[in-house]
C-alpha cells in the first residue's frame, strides 16, 4: 500500500465511524475501522451498500406527506443518529460519515432519485476541503454539486443547498486552513442556489460564533460535528428551508447555471 493510500485510510477511519459525541476511539477500534475502510475502498468506494436494504424497505410515498431526503456526510448522519425525532415520517436521512462530493454523486441515483422525493437537501463539501478521498480543488467540488443539483432537477426534485457548518479546524487534519475555505464555498453555494431556483439553508450563520470561523460554545463536540444542542439550532433553519422548497413548483428540467 502506498503512503498516500495509508494516509487516506487513516483519515477515513478517524472521520467515518466516530459519532459526534463519542469518546476517543481505542487503537483496536481504529484498526477495525481502517481494515473496513480498506476493504470498502476496493469493493464499494462510494458505499452504495450502506442504505441498499433501507431503500428497498421504504414504504411507498404517502399522499399529502412530501418525501424529503437529506444526503450528506457525518453531519447529516449525526443528525439522524443523535436526533432521530427530527426525521418525522417522510424525512429520510442518507448521510455517511467521511464522504466527499464525488462519493455522494455516485450514490445520488440510488439514495436520492430512486426514492422519488419532493425535495433533496444536499449538505456536502467539508470533507472535500479535508481531502478525505484525495486532493480536490474548489472547482471540482462545485462541479459535483452542480451535477447533483442538475440530476435532481431533471427528475422533478426540488433542491436545498445547505451551507457547510463552521469549522475552525479538523481534528483528523491538523494545521489545515478550514474556515476561509468553508466561507468561500458557502458564498458560492448561496449564489448558485439563487441562480438555479434552489433553496439555500444557511446553517453556518446560525451556528457560528461571532467574529470567528468556529461554532459557538456547546454546539460542537470537536469543532466540526454538532452536538444535540447544535442540531437544535439547525432545526429551525431546516424547517424554513423545507417549507420554502416545497412552496416552489417542482422543476421540469435541470437549470444549467455555471
pLDDT digits (tens), the chain, 258 positions: 554 444 455 455 444 444 444 456 688 877 787 787 778 878 999 999 999 999 999 998 888 899 999 999 999 999 999 999 999 999 999 999 999 999 999 999 999 999 999 999 999 999 999 999 999 999 999 999 999 999 999 999 999 999 999 999 999 989 898 999 999 999 999 999 999 999 999 999 999 999 999 999 999 999 999 999 999 999 999 999 999 999 999 999 888 877
Place of cell 447555471: 257
DSSP 88-119: -TTEEEEE-TT--HHHHHHHHHHHTGGG--SE
Using a 10 angstrom Cβ sphere, with 0-12 exposed, 13-18 middle and 19 or more buried, the burial of residue 258 is exposed
CATH number of the structural domain 3-247: 3.40.50.1110
H/E stretch holding 123 reads: strand 119-123
Q: 211-250 burial string, b = 16+ CB within 10 Å, else e?
A: eebbbbeebbbbebbbbeebbebbeebbeebbebbeeeee
Strands of the sheet containing 199-201, edge to edge, are: 91-95, 68-72, 119-123, 158-162, 199-201
Phi, psi of 132 (to 5 degrees): -60, -35
The whole-model pTM stands at 0.88
Torsion of CA 166, 170, 174, 180, to 10 degrees: -30
Beta-strand pair 158-162/199-201: parallel
Closest CA to 206 of 172, 240, 174: 240
Residue spans of the domains in the chain: they are 3-247
Amino acid at each position: 500500500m502506498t503512503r498516500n493510500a495509508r494516509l487516506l485510510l487513516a483519515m477515513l477511519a478517524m472521520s467515518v465511524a466516530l459519532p459526534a459525541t463519542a469518546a476517543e476511539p481505542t487503537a483496536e477500534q481504529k484498526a477495525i475501522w481502517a481494515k473496513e475502510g480498506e476493504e470498502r475502498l476496493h469493493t464499494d468506494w462510494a458505499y452504495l451498500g450502506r442504505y441498499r436494504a433501507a431503500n428497498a424497505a421504504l414504504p411507498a410515498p404517502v399522499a399529502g406527506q412530501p418525501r424529503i431526503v437529506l444526503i450528506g456526510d457525518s453531519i447529516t448522519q449525526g443528525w439522524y443518529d443523535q436526533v432521530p425525532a427530527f426525521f418525522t415520517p417522510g424525512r429520510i436521512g442518507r448521510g455517511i460519515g467521511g464522504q466527499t462530493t464525488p462519493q455522494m454523486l455516485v450514490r445520488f441515483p440510488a439514495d436520492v432519485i430512486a426514492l422519488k422525493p419532493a425535495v433533496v437537501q444536499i449538505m456536502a463539501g467539508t470533507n472535500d476541503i479535508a481531502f478525505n478521498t484525495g486532493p480536490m480543488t474548489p472547482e471540482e467540488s462545485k462541479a459535483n454539486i452542480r451535477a447533483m443539483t442538475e440530476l435532481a432537477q431533471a427528475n422533478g426534485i426540488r433542491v436545498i443547498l445547505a451551507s457547510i457548518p463552521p469549522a475552525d479546524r479538523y481534528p483528523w487534519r491538523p494545521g489545515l486552513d478550514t474556515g476561509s475555505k468553508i466561507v468561500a464555498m458557502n458564498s458560492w453555494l448561496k449564489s448558485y442556489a439563487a441562480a438555479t431556483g434552489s433553496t439555500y439553508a444557511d446553517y453556518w450563520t446560525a451556528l457560528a460564533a461571532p467574529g470567528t470561523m468556529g461554532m459557538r460554545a456547546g454546539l460542537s463536540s470537536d469543532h466540526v460535528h454538532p452536538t444535540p444542542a447544535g442540531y437544535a439550532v439547525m432545526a429551525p433553519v431546516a424547517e424554513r428551508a423545507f417549507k420554502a422548497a416545497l412552496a416552489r413548483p417542482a422543476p421540469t428540467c435541470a437549470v444549467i447555471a455555471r
